[in-house]
Structure formats: structure tokens, C-alpha cells
Structure 1
Amino acid sequence: MDLKKKIREVPDFPREGINYKDISTLLLDGEAYRQAVQELARQCRYKAADLIVCPKLRGLVIGAPLSYILGTGLAVLQRPVRLPGDALSWQGMALGEDSFYLSREAVKPEMKVLVADELLATGGTAFTAIKMIEELGGEVVGTVFLIELTGLGGRAKLNDYDTISLVQYNF
């Protein structure tokens, strides 16, 4: 199945000249969603991750099922909120982002961690997650995305990490 055909493009959103990649149409198609997650899991299985870290909301639709299939823990990178316990705060590097928070209890020293999200654009969110994981002593074993916008430099920002994406758009 061609997953790219399952992703709706919304022209001139959020502003003129940008074609938004809407994954909600893929998520509504159970067969396509299952195929996407299973393919990402197949490509990530060899990484032997202990934990998946993903941004809240859209990242969870990729991170949670991957965590389930791979049998890893799951930690959520959150926007400014109050987390119970001690949390690490880091200024986001993605365009327009505020700080992100990650529970200090989530990542243990030398834990192998996979960063998962639905979209790789500039790489700012993933890079922020990586820096937080490394500050907590974890080892990032790779990054995984459903969609990659290839012209925005995200892969270059993550050059030191094995990066997987299922669907690429030249942007």
C-alpha cells in the first residue's frame, strides 16, 4: 500500500505556500495505520531500545504503538505543564516552541532510547528530545518518523543519529 496516498495534503495551510501533511486520514484507515506502525517497528527492532520518547499529541500516535510492539517503555516529552516528581526542562529548538519537560525518572543512565514522532521537518523537536535524553545519561539509538520533509534540514540536524522515515516529501 502506498502510504503517501493515505496522507491528505492541505494547500496553503497554515499559511500560503505551505502544503500541510495531514496524517488524520491515514489514522482513520486502520489498515494503513497498522501497516505504517508495523513497518516502523520492523525497521526499529534491531535497535534494542529500552524506551521510546515522543512528543505529546502527534508523536504519541507513533510512539505508543511502537512501544507496545517493541516491548519498550514509553516517556512523553511535554509542553509546559507540572509533572509529578522531578522534571528536566529544556528550551525547545523547534520553530515557535517553548520549553519541553521530561520526567527525570523516565531515562536511566545508559538506557537505550529511540525518539519517535510523526513528522521530521527542521529537526528541532527531535534534537531537543535527544539533548534531554543525553543530559539524563541515556543513549539515543535512533530517531523514527512517519513523514519527513526533506528540504528543511531536519535529517542534517540529526546527522549523528540513525534516522528512519517512511514517507518523504520534497519540501
Structure 2
Amino acid sequence: MFDIYITKFPAPNLIADEYLASLLAARPQDTTGVWLGLSIPYQSAALLAKAITTARGFVKVIAEEYRHPKIATAQALPIAYKEIMRKRDLATIEMGIPVMLGEVVLYGLLDSPRVWIFSAQSPTLQNLGYMPGGIAVNIDKLTGEIVTDHELMADSDRLRLAQGEVFPDE
């Protein structure tokens, strides 16, 4: 079953103002989004998400289990650190110069209901003009596994398909 995570609220007439106010009041300060608290099939969640986005809200349809992460940031940090160092080593080999990194930290600019995002800034990459100028890793909040950007995009594509969008042939 699935829930909806809202990161930008829609026009006030879509959901009662009182309900939105209670969601905002209950939201932890370190997040940018709020769970609706639903437990509905994926297709139903996708259609509701489409209605919210049509009203200019931003949402994600996520398995309801993610409302309560099993992996804390302290548990995810060593996993992220190891993967960021692996990526740094690969970049060093590919570029032929040492890639220096800053501290591995929880990336606070993006709030994701599914993954913890950790990053390390790289003066080496920044000086060479790379954007972004660092290395980031996504850690699943339930399993502690590394989630690739490709996997996160596949989730987004799945939602768009469920909402009836047609993708042009590539």
C-alpha cells in the first residue's frame, strides 16, 4: 500500500485548509514535506498525486512503510562513506589525478521520503568545473542499501506511466 508525500502544497481549495494546517503543524522541522497518512493502492495514489500536481503541488507516491524509517542517519553514514570513497577512487583512476573530498555529510538541501542523501564536496572537481562539485550517495531508509539515481528516476517514470502519460519513442 502507498502514501503520498507532499513537498509543495497545492491550491488551498484542493484539500481543506484546516487539514493542511494540521499537517504543517505536525511536520518535523528538518523536513520539507508531509505525509498524507494514506494506505491506498498504487494506482489510486497515482491518480490522487496527479490531481495534486495539477493544482500546482509537488508530491511523491511512496510505499507507506517509508513513513517510519528503519535505518537512522547514524547507521546510514558508514554505508554512504564507504560508497563515496569507492566513487572517489574510481574518479581518481579515470581522471588520473587525486580527487580530494571534504567531509561526508547528510545533504540537507534535499528532503527525500525514501532515501537519506549524503554528499562530500570536492575541491578537485569544483576547480575542474564539474557540476555538481562533489559526490553524493542515496541510502534506502528501510534497507540501508545504496539506491542509484537511475532507480529513483525509474520510480518517477513508473508514477508518470500510472498517471497516463505517454513517453515518446526514443
TM-score (norm 2): 0.27
Highest relative contact order (Cα 8 Å, sep 6+), 1 or 2?
2
Q: Which has the larger radius of gyration?
A: 2
